[in-house]
Amino acid sequence: MTPVRVDEATVVAHWLRLEPGTSVDPSNLSESEALDALLTAKPGAAAFVWRARPVEWYRLRLPRERFTRLRVVGGPSELGWRALSVDGTVLGAARRIDAGDATRLPEATGVSVTAVERLANDLADGASLPALVLTTRRGCAPTRVVDGNHRAAATALHLLRTGEYRPLDAYLGVGANPVLRPLRERLCGVARRLLGGDLTP
């Protein structure tokens, strides 16, 4: 799937519909109300939406080589997904789950390993999973999963156990770099685009 530009309201509505514990129906909200509801529900992960403005949003299908480089949502290294994945990648999180103790890992990280295992089993049964929400910045910033870490980890777990990659759709938000970004990042971004490593058109 060639990346297709989408508006931010589409991404926010998608994210809100999937957010556990959120009872709001985004179709009944204005764009600003929906964004406010998302920032209230996920103040950390959704902060990118306003911190990295202007953000360009794309809908795409993730090829395997791009998927295996995805990073988990940001945060302190000792908490949540960052604690689960030693190298910060989704694949690293799946490796820990595959090799780890299903009782010990949730206690140590706060991540619901049971939910990841359940989704991986669904994939093995032929299910498809909703699109992820990913973010990056122009240049050499990594691409992170801000919504759908459980779905991404389940896809990686299925890949590890079966060798089959079940392609995932995603919304990718590409944010602006700070005005005074380092020259190295600008040059790396140019090189990445030239070598085909950039997800954006």
pLDDT band, very low/low/confident/very high, at 32 (cuts 50, 70, 90): very high
Residue 201 has pLDDT above 70, yes or no: no
Which helix (H) or strand (E) segment holds residue 151: the answer is helix 149-162
Query: What is the reported pLDDT for 122?
Result: 97
199 part of a folded domain: no
As given in the structure block, the two tokens for residue 30 are 């204005």
Cα distance between residue 19 and residue 36, in whole Å: 14
Query: What is the reported pLDDT for 19?
Result: 86
181 part of a folded domain: yes
Mean of all residue pLDDT scores within the chain? 88
Query: What is the reported pLDDT for 4?
Result: 96
201 part of a folded domain: no
Residues linked to residue 71 through DSSP beta bridges, in sequence order: 89, 144
Residue bearing the bigger pLDDT, 45 or 171: 171
pLDDT band, very low/low/confident/very high, at 180 (cuts 50, 70, 90): very low
Cα distance between residue 126 and residue 51, in whole Å: 38
Residue 146 has pLDDT above 90, yes or no: yes
Query: What is the reported pLDDT for 34?
Result: 92
Q: What is the DSSP letter of 58?
A: E
Domain that holds residue 54: 4-194
Q: For the chain, what is the domain count?
A: 1
Cα distance between residue 139 and residue 99, in whole Å: 34
45 part of a folded domain: yes
77 part of a folded domain: yes
Cα distance between residue 54 and residue 76, in whole Å: 26
Residue 114 has pLDDT above 80, yes or no: yes
164: left (phi over 0), alpha (psi -120 to 50) or beta: beta
